Amino acid sequence: MQKYSKLKRVTNASRATDHKSLISKINLKKAKIGIIGLGYVGLPLVIEFSKAGFHVTGFDIDNRKVELLKQGRSYIKHIDATLIRECKLFLPTSDFSILPEIDCIIICVPTPLNKNREPDMMYVFNTTETIAKYLRRGQLIVLESTTYPGTTDEDMRKILEGRGLKAGEDFYLAFSPEREDPANKNFSTRTIPKVVGGYTERCLAIAKALYDSIVVKTVPVSSTRVAEATKLLENIYRAVNIALVNELKMLFERMEIDIWEVIDAAQTKPFGFQAFYPGPGLGGHCIPIDPFYLTWKARELDFSTRFIELAGEINTNMPYHVVQRVGWVLNKFKKSLSGSKILVLGVAYKRDVDDQRESPSLSIIQLLKEHGVEVTYNDPYVPVCRGHRHYPDIDMKSVKLTEETLKRADLVLLVTDHTAYDYAFIERYARCIIDTRDAFRRRGIDSKRIYRA
């Protein structure tokens, strides 16, 4: 019995040493960092860890991305290729067999919804199974992909422990939600505070040390579940408030009240009000998706998240409202939707990015086509629009924005308010315009041919 107790003490001491050793390696910039998923979240992390002096290996199953990165090229519009070429200690690869060489592995893979608007965890779980295959003692695994509470400490942990190693003892597990906002000129990966939750105190200490090395401030929380819930709250807060102004916009249209003028007036109050703006629907990989992760999880607990689901319903229906508005405007000119020619401006989900994920433009284009509309689009950031899992029939190329293109369209529909657009030029030659972003008024352009939606 005494012999067993002595062995147990030695094992615990060894694990404590492993924990402190990894923190020391991180602090000395000797830890090897691995980023799985080199998209809008993973690639900025690669750049920041490289800038900080770490050896970084980027993993992706898309060989096209890997080859472009090896050539020092960028496939994301707002990430300059110069930043990639400056990453001298960066190795992009699709060879996951080198995972045992990595000390800290960060997972940045998609967490979309399936056709029933339920969480599709295939990418996270497949990635976790790959890591489990190569998992060694002393590694840190961090999930950054947005998900439901319990993903990290329940689902992922069970997969990772499948070969006998124990989380918090033999390897370390944490969750730190991504907070990327593409093309935001005021905040970057480095300057946005980073929430971190660990499976155990040691897991948290290592993960905090890791992110302390690249961000201005880390915000440690008591568990991975709190960290997971934090991200959901952030985006549900936005989704609910956007749904509110979208609903008010539709009501105020019937009352002949300008919602944009109302918001401008309301935000002069110096307390108790934060401006949210209506639009053609939600886009991006967070706000249209994240709330449904929580509503899905809530059903396991026999709890109805009615408020969140109502907001989701309103926001999801906004593209339908836009198409109805298009039909109403065309009718004023004695035209029907069927057979009309409509030019859509912007298919990216937000201004000045090339990201089309969950863009309301996709739904709007699909609906217009179903009504027999001849649809063309222009987007200075998106030359080709295709390959979308929920819109497989959309396969289009951006047309040049010329005087002839504008005159040819029966209606010009502004969905994404890129700053690159010459709004005065568009107004001069378009027969009529529907502005879903209040972009023309904000630039002092007023015309009887411009309508809101």
CA trace torsion 330, 333, 339, 341 (10° rounding) = -70
For helices 259-266 and 224-254, what crossing angle results, to 10°? 120
Above 70 in pLDDT, residue 322? yes
Which among 205, 222, 239 is the end of a domain?
A: 222
Confidence band, pLDDT 50/70/90 cuts, at residue 63: very high
> Mean pLDDT over residues 82-95, rounded?
96
- Phi, psi torsion values for 44, nearest 5 degrees: -60, -35
DSSP at 175: E
Question: 3-state class of 93 per DSSP?
Answer: strand
Convert the pLDDT of each residue in 140-157 to its tens digit: 999 999 999 999 999 999
Considering the domain architecture, whether residues 211 and 230 belong to the same structural domain is answered as no
CB atoms within 10 A of CB 432: 19
Q: Which residues are catalytic?
A: 286
Q: Which amino acid is at 61?
A: I
Considering the domain architecture, whether residues 200 and 236 belong to the same structural domain is answered as no
> Mean pLDDT over residues 66-94, rounded?
95
> Mean pLDDT over residues 294-321, rounded?
93
CATH number of the domain that residue 377 is part of: 3.40.50.720
Considering the domain architecture, whether residues 97 and 204 belong to the same structural domain is answered as yes
Confidence band, pLDDT 50/70/90 cuts, at residue 326: very high
Considering the domain architecture, whether residues 128 and 181 belong to the same structural domain is answered as yes
Task: Report CA 323 to chain centroid distance, whole Å.
Answer: 25
Of how many residues is the chain composed?
A: 453
Q: Regarding beta strands 194-198 and 172-175, do their DSSP bridges make them parallel or antiparallel, or are they unpaired?
A: antiparallel
pLDDT of residue 6: 41
Considering the domain architecture, whether residues 273 and 190 belong to the same structural domain is answered as no
Is 405:382 a contact under the CB 8 Å cutoff? no
What is d(CA 114, CA 106) in angstroms, rounded to the nearest whole number? Answer: 24
Closest CA to 176 of 148, 155, 207: 207
Which among 222, 253, 273 is the end of a domain?
A: 222
Residue recorded with tokens 């010459």: 422
The partner residues of 55 in beta bridges, in order of sequence, read 32
pLDDT of residue 16: 52
Closest CA to 285 of 42, 152, 76, 111: 111
What is d(CA 197, CA 226) in angstroms, rounded to the nearest whole number? Answer: 7
What is d(CA 273, CA 275) in angstroms, rounded to the nearest whole number? Answer: 7
> Mean pLDDT over residues 199-205, rounded?
98
Above 80 in pLDDT, residue 308? yes
Convert the pLDDT of each residue in 368-410 to its tens digit: 999 999 999 999 999 999 988 889 999 999 999 999 999 999 9
Convert the pLDDT of each residue in 116-130 to its tens digit: 778 999 999 999 999
Considering the domain architecture, whether residues 325 and 453 belong to the same structural domain is answered as yes
Above 70 in pLDDT, residue 2? no
Task: Report CA 400 to chain centroid distance, whole Å.
Answer: 28
What is d(CA 62, CA 37) in angstroms, rounded to the nearest whole number? Answer: 9
Considering the domain architecture, whether residues 163 and 51 belong to the same structural domain is answered as yes
Q: Which amino acid is at 441?
A: R
> Mean pLDDT over residues 41-57, rounded?
97
> Mean pLDDT over residues 424-431, rounded?
97
Residues spanned by the domain of 118: 2-222
Any idea what the Cα angle at residue 327 is, between residues 322 and 333, rounded to 5°? 130
Any idea what the Cα angle at residue 381 is, between residues 377 and 386, rounded to 5°? 60
Instruction: Please state the domain count of the chain.
Output: 3
pLDDT of residue 117: 79
Token pair belonging to 272: 């108790």
Q: Regarding beta strands 384-385 and 396-397, do their DSSP bridges make them parallel or antiparallel, or are they unpaired?
A: antiparallel
Describe the strand order of the beta sheet including 55-59 as a list of residue ranges. 90-93, 55-59, 32-36, 104-107, 140-143, 172-175, 194-198, 218-221
pLDDT of residue 360: 96
What is d(CA 39, CA 309) in angstroms, rounded to the nearest whole number? Answer: 29
> How many angstroms separate the most distant Cα atoms in the chain?
94
Token pair belonging to 135: 């998992």
CB atoms within 10 A of CB 267: 12
Considering the domain architecture, whether residues 192 and 256 belong to the same structural domain is answered as no
pLDDT of residue 14: 54
Residue recorded with tokens 């929580």: 294
pLDDT of residue 185: 85
Contacts for 238 with CB less than 8 Å, ≥ 6 apart: 276, 287
pLDDT of residue 1: 34
Which among 192, 222, 252 is the end of a domain?
A: 222
Is 75:381 a contact under the CB 8 Å cutoff? no
Residue recorded with tokens 């709004």: 423
pLDDT of residue 115: 78
pTM, two decimals, is: 0.90
Task: Report CA 278 to chain centroid distance, whole Å.
Answer: 19
pLDDT of residue 3: 39
Question: 3-state class of 127 per DSSP?
Answer: helix
Q: Which amino acid is at 332?
A: K
> Mean pLDDT over residues 105-110, rounded?
97
Considering the domain architecture, whether residues 214 and 111 belong to the same structural domain is answered as yes
Considering the domain architecture, whether residues 339 and 310 belong to the same structural domain is answered as no
CATH number of the domain that residue 240 is part of: 1.10.1040.10
Residue recorded with tokens 């607990």: 301
Convert the pLDDT of each residue in 253-289 to its tens digit: 999 999 999 999 999 999 999 999 999 998 877 788 8
Considering the domain architecture, whether residues 68 and 177 belong to the same structural domain is answered as yes
Mean pLDDT, the chain, rounded, equals 93
Closest CA to 446 of 253, 261, 185, 318: 261
Considering the domain architecture, whether residues 209 and 239 belong to the same structural domain is answered as no
- Rg of the Cα trace of the chain? 25
For helices 306-316 and 224-254, what crossing angle results, to 10°? 50
